[in-house]
Amino acid sequence: MRSKRIIAFIVCLALIMPNMVFASNNKYITLNLRYDYQDHYYNAEEVFVEIDGKRLTDLPMPPIILNGYSLVPAREVFEGLGAKVVWQKEVEQVYVTYGSNKVMIPIGSSKAYVNGEAHTMQTVARIINNKTMIPLRFVSTALGFDINWDKDTRIANIITDKKVTEKTTVTTTKATTTTTKATTTTTTTIETTTEKTTAAVTEKKTETTTKKAANTSSGGASSAVAKGNFGYDYDNDRLFIKNTSGAINISNIIHYDDYYDLNYTCEIPVNLSSIINTETFDPQSEKISKCTVTVTPQKTSVSFDENMILAMNITQENGYVYFSPVFPKEKYDKIIVLDAGHGGGDPGAQANGLVEKDLTLKMLLSAKKKFDHDGKIKCYVSRATDVYPSFDDRTDLANEVGDAFISIHINSATNTTATGTETYSLYPNDQGNGLTSYILAEEMLDQLLEKLGTVNRKVKSENWIVLRQSVVPATLIEIGFISNSGEAAMMNNNTDTVGQAIYDGVTKLFNEYPPVR
C-alpha cells in the first residue's frame, strides 16, 4: 500500500515539473550581503537590468530585490544612462544628475530629494558589500525615464526614448511639512537655547484691497496730492516727488534698510519744503503698510513700513523721482545671508578669556564689510550687534531673501588639545542652479583651511536647527576650538582672515553657480 502511494506521488510530481520549470526559468543566486554592520543571507532569482533592451553585464554587484524593490549599483547603472553620479563619502549621500534633473539620496533614509524637493521612497538606499545600491525605479523615473518590469524574465528595462530635459514630477509620496515647528530641547555646544521669538518677517497680506482712484499729473504719476508735486502712485506701488530744477540727486540719497524692524528709509539731503509737505500715505499694498514723507529744514525723509523684507529702487523719469519698494531678488542678482552664532544672553562657548558670540560677530562683520565694499553680492546678516535672534529669525531671513546661508560658530571640547576646522551640511536645498549645501560646506572648509592652516576635520552632516530649517543651500562652519589656547589666540587674531575666506568662497561659488532669477 505504501509503495503505491509513493508511485502515485512520483507520477504527480512528474506531471507538474514541466510547469514549474517553465514558470521559473531563471537561475537562483546565493549571496552573502554585508550591510547595516551585519551579514545577511540572500537567495533569490537573478535580476537583470537593460537600457533600451541592451543588457548591462559584468556589474561589480548584481541587482537585487530587498523588501520587494530593486536595488542596483548606482554608478554603473546610471552612468550607463549618461547621468552623472557623485558619491559624497563624508555625509554618505549620492547625487545622480541627468540634464536639469538632480536626485540626492542619503544612505539609510527613505527620504530623497528631487530638484531640491523632498520625496518619500518605498525603500532605502544602502551600502551593500561596499557598493552604493539605490532604488532603480525611483531614480529612473525621477530622471525622466520610463521603466518596464517583466516578472517572468526578471528584466527591468529602462527606456530612454522619452528623455526629458525639463524638471519632472515624481509620482511618489512627497514629504510634507507644517508651519508649526517643534521646539527642540537638545542642548549642544553650538545651539544652547530653546528660546523662540516671533519671526522677524510677517506673513504677506493676501486680501486684495480696492485701490484709490488715480489722478494724472504732468509727470504721468497717478494720485497726486497736496501741492501736486508729490504723492503715491497706487497702480505701480511707488512714491513720487517732482524734481524741481533737479534739486534731488538720486546718487546722494542715503539708504537705511532696517530689515530687522521691517522699515526702509531714504534720506534726501535737501530741504524740499518749498514743493512738498509732511504727509502719510496708506498704500493699501501687499508690500507696504504705511509710507511717510517727513520734511525738515535739513533733509527730506521717505520712510516705508514694510510687510516683508524689501529693497528699494530709485529712478528718475519725466521730471519725477520714484521710490519703488521691490523684493530683494528683484533688485540683487546674488544674495548671501550670514549668521553670527549665539548673541545677547546666549554667549556660546567660552574659554581662554574669549567668548564665542563676540568672535563670530567680528568674523561676520568683517565678511559683510567686504561684500558691501565690492557691491556685487548683497549681504544680509542675522545680527550686527550683540543681540540674540531666535533660530526661526535666522533661518526665516535666509529663506525669504537669500541664495545661500552660512552660520558661523566656534567649537569647544573638554579635551583642550582638540583642534581643527569642520563644516556641516544636511539637505541639498538646490534652488535650480546646481549649488547644494554640501558644495557650499566643502568650499567654506577649503577656504578656511587654506587661509588659517588649521587641521582638516572634514565636512560632516548633522541635524542642527539652522540647517534643518533652511530651504536654501546652508552650512554651519566651526572655525576652530576656543578650548585650545593656541587655536583660540589664532582665531582672535584672524577674524578678518575668516571674513576673507567667507567672502572668497561665496564669490567663487556664485560665479560658478549663478543664482536663478
DSSP secondary structure of 443-508: HHHHHHHHHH---EEEEEE---HHHHT--S-EEEEEEEETTSHHHHHHHHH-HHHHHHHHHHHHHH
Q: Place 203 in a pLDDT band, splitting at 50, 70 and 90.
A: very low
Look at residue 67 in the predicted model and tell me its pLDDT.
82
Most confident option among 39-48, 60-69, 427-436, 446-455: 446-455
H-assigned helices in 387-458:
391-401, 437-452
Q: Place 121 in a pLDDT band, splitting at 50, 70 and 90.
A: confident
Q: Report the pLDDT averaged over residues 350-359.
A: 97
pLDDT single digits (tens) 7-20:
454 444 444 444 33
Among 99-108, 397-406, 468-477, which stretch is predicted with the lowest mean pLDDT? 99-108
Residue 504: pLDDT over 80: yes
Q: Report the pLDDT averaged over residues 267-294.
A: 93
The percent of residues in the chain predicted with pLDDT above 70, rounded, is: 82
Q: The CATH number of 224-329 is which of 2.102.10.10, 3.90.25.10, 2.60.40.3470, 1.10.20.140?
A: 2.60.40.3470
User: Catalytic: which of 306, 400, 422, 478?
Assistant: 478
Number of H helices, E strands in the chain: 10, 34
Q: Report the pLDDT averaged over residues 121-133.
A: 89
Residue 397: pLDDT over 80: yes
Q: Place 187 in a pLDDT band, splitting at 50, 70 and 90.
A: very low
Residue 513: pLDDT over 90: yes
Look at residue 508 in the predicted model and tell me its pLDDT.
98
Residue 124: pLDDT over 70: yes
pLDDT single digits (tens) 233-251:
998 999 999 998 889 999 9
Q: Where are the domains of the chain?
A: 22-174, 224-329, 332-512
pLDDT single digits (tens) 217-230:
333 344 433 347 89
The CATH class of 332-512 is: alpha beta
478 is catalytic: yes
Helix (H) or strand (E) holding 300: strand 300-306
Residue 303: pLDDT over 60: yes
Residue 5: pLDDT over 90: no
If you count them, how many residues does the chain have? 517
Q: Which residue matches cell numbers 548591462? A: 56
Classify residue 36 by its DSSP letter. T
Which residues does 278 contact at the CB level (< 8 Å), separation at least 6? 292, 293, 294, 295
Three cell numbers, residue 273: 519744503
Q: How many CB atoms lie within 10 A of CB 279?
A: 16
Among 13-27, 154-168, 195-209, 270-284, which stretch is predicted with the lowest mean pLDDT? 195-209
Q: Where are the beta strands (DSSP E) in 116-184?
A: 117-120, 126-128, 131-135, 146-150, 155-159, 173-174
Three cell numbers, residue 513: 553657480
Look at residue 90 in the predicted model and tell me its pLDDT.
66
Q: Tell me if residue 336 falls in helix, strand or coil.
A: strand
Let me know: does 482 contact 494? Beta carbons within 8 Å.
no
CA atoms within 13 A on the CB side of 425: 28
Q: How many CB atoms lie within 10 A of CB 333?
A: 13
The CATH topology of domain 22-174 is Copper Amine Oxidase; Chain A, domain 1 (3.30.457)
Taking the C-alpha atoms of residue 221 and residue 210, their distance in angstroms, rounded to an integer, is: 18
Helix (H) or strand (E) holding 138: helix 136-142
Helix (H) or strand (E) holding 7: helix 2-23
Q: Report the pLDDT averaged over residues 435-460.
A: 96
Prediction pTM value: 0.62
